[in-house]
Amino acid sequence: MTEDAPKKLFIKTYGCQMNVYDSERMAEALGAKGYVTTEVAEEADMVLLNTCHIREKAAEKVYSDLGRLRPLKQAKPDLKIGVAGCVAQAEGEEILRRMPLVDLVVGPQSYHRLPEMVEAKGKVIDTDFPEEDKFDHLPERKALRGPTAFLTVQEGCDKFCAFCVVPYTRGAEVSRPVPRLLAEARDLVSRGVREITLLGQNVNGYHGEGEGGAWGLGRLIREMAGIEGLERLRYTTSHPNDMDDDLIAAHGEVPQLMPYLHLPVQSGSDRILKAMNRKHTAEEYLRLIERIRAARPDILLSSDFIVAFPGETDRDFEDTMDLIREVRFGAAFSFKYSARPGTPAAEKPELPAELADARLHALQALITEQQHAAQKAMVGRQVGVLYEKAGRLPGQMVGKSDHLHAVHVQDPTAKVGELVQVRIVEAGPNSLRGERLQP
């Protein structure tokens, strides 16, 4: 290898969309140090695992993946292995102890220090929560993947739900200032992006500095909707207690804001919601959904659920099923409770695994039923579809509808990035089929 041959970087991303965004930014930061990304771990000079600590399985996966890198490291002693993300933050030096092949551990708030860290000799670790905003110190975004992009507007969480590691791994809620976000959004649009998803662990708790003081998410969305060429806006993930009037109204008033909202409720039992420290009741959630639907009647709702939280009785679980029946979700993620070290809920006795399995199974069956019903209800309707890639069949395009359904359309002359009007003609189990309406 000559001195200036580019070094190859392999990144594996676990967990949430915020990690996807962070991985892109880390790739760019290392790009400035001469790294180009590769999809093949075997040819990499550096392997970076951007990890997730949310459930035990997610965290343990990282260790088994590190174990599998051992032969690679033996064959290529210069190979650098880095662990980033929420496991890095939560476990820090423990990772170096358990996995001596790791060279570098970097927490989510220190990614701007990564370029120096890779040049350091020996093992390095940085899990600080520095004052400065990492995104201000990372290079501009270059690589884009198609017409959609994520934009992190807020990070961290002050909610401290009793089961959750995020407040510990990502730190306190911090909102990025409005002008930086508008500049980043304009730059994305100038390079072909037509849909932006605003990201944050508590995105609707956004309160970034803008003209005249702190702006809420509704105001930020209204301002972004004014960017010429930006056709679609979404945001995720929200907490029910931060859905303010202005944001709800924006769903009825801003055409670019798409009719889909992920609003995790976790449980439909007031007793369990209280034990989870969610700070709202099932009834309050239902009333909130009513207000959102009044603003945007065709909005599709999705949620996260945890089953078998410590102390959850059959009655509590039935309350959750009742809430699901009442809301009628278009989609949902559901998980068995996983005890996380350091969280208050981890102190409490866990429920038997078989019970958790049975509840998860029942809940998922109900959600699947509702998901299919929502898909079927789209048949005959006209929706926008933003083409993201070519389909598997010749002449086929695949994109997302306004309601975030995957839609296949036979459209041989179309290009990726086109936003077209489509009539939905068929609902399959995982995607819809549409026919393009001629403009």
Residues making up the binding site for [4Fe-4S] cluster: 16, 52, 86, 157, 161, 164
Nearer to ligand SF4, 109 or 202 (CB): 202
Measured distance CA(320)–CA(317) in Å, rounded? 5
Nearest-CA neighbor of 148 among 79, 181, 194?
Answer: 194
Question: Looking at beta carbons only, is 69 or 149 nearer to ligand SAH?
Answer: 149
Residues 112, 371: Cα–Cα separation, whole Å:
41
Q: Are 133 and 179 in contact (CB under 8 A)?
A: no
* Closer residue to ligand SAH (CB): 273 or 306: 306
Binding site, by residue number, is 16, 52, 86, 157, 161, 164
Binding mask 164-203 vs ligand F3S (x if CB under 6 A, - otherwise)? -xx--xx------------------------------x--
Q: Is the peptide bond before 237 cis (omega within 30 degrees of 0)?
A: yes
DSSP assigned state of 256: T
Torsion angle of alpha carbons 108, 211, 193, 39, nearest 10°?
Answer: -10
Cα-trace Rg, the chain: 23
DSSP 329: -
Q: How open is the CA angle 333-345-366, to the nearest 5 degrees?
A: 25
CB of 107 vs ligand SF4, minimal distance in Å: 16
| Rounded Cα–Cα distance for residues 202 and 217 (Å) | 11
Please choose which of ligand F3S, ligand SF4, ligand SAH, none residue 150 contacts, taking the beta carbon within 5 to 8 angstroms, the exact cut-off set by kind: none
State the nearest-atom distance from the C-beta of 74 to ligand SAH, in Å. 35
Under the criterion CB under 6 A, does residue 84 sit at the interface with ligand F3S?
no
Cβ of residue 14: shortest distance to ligand F3S, in angstroms? 7
Residue 85 lies near ligand F3S (rule: CB under 6 A) = yes
- What distance in Å separates the CA atoms of residue 428 and residue 391, rounded to the nearest whole number? 15
Residues near ligand SAH (CB under 6 A): 16, 54-55, 163-164, 166, 201-202, 237, 264, 266, 304, 306, 335, 337-338, 340
Query: Which of ligand F3S, ligand SAH, ligand SF4, none lies near 160, with the C-beta cut-off 5 to 8 A by kind?
Result: ligand SF4
Listed ranges 36-44, 159-167, 384-392, 396-404: which one lies at the site for ligand SF4 (CB under 6 A)? 159-167
Q: Quick check: helix, strand or coil at residue 192?
A: coil
Q: Which residue has the tokens 């029942």?
A: 362
Binding residues among 201-220 for ligand SF4 as defined by CB under 6 A: 201-202
Which spans of this chain sit near ligand F3S (rule: CB under 6 A)? 15-16, 18-19, 52-54, 85-86, 165-166, 169-170, 201
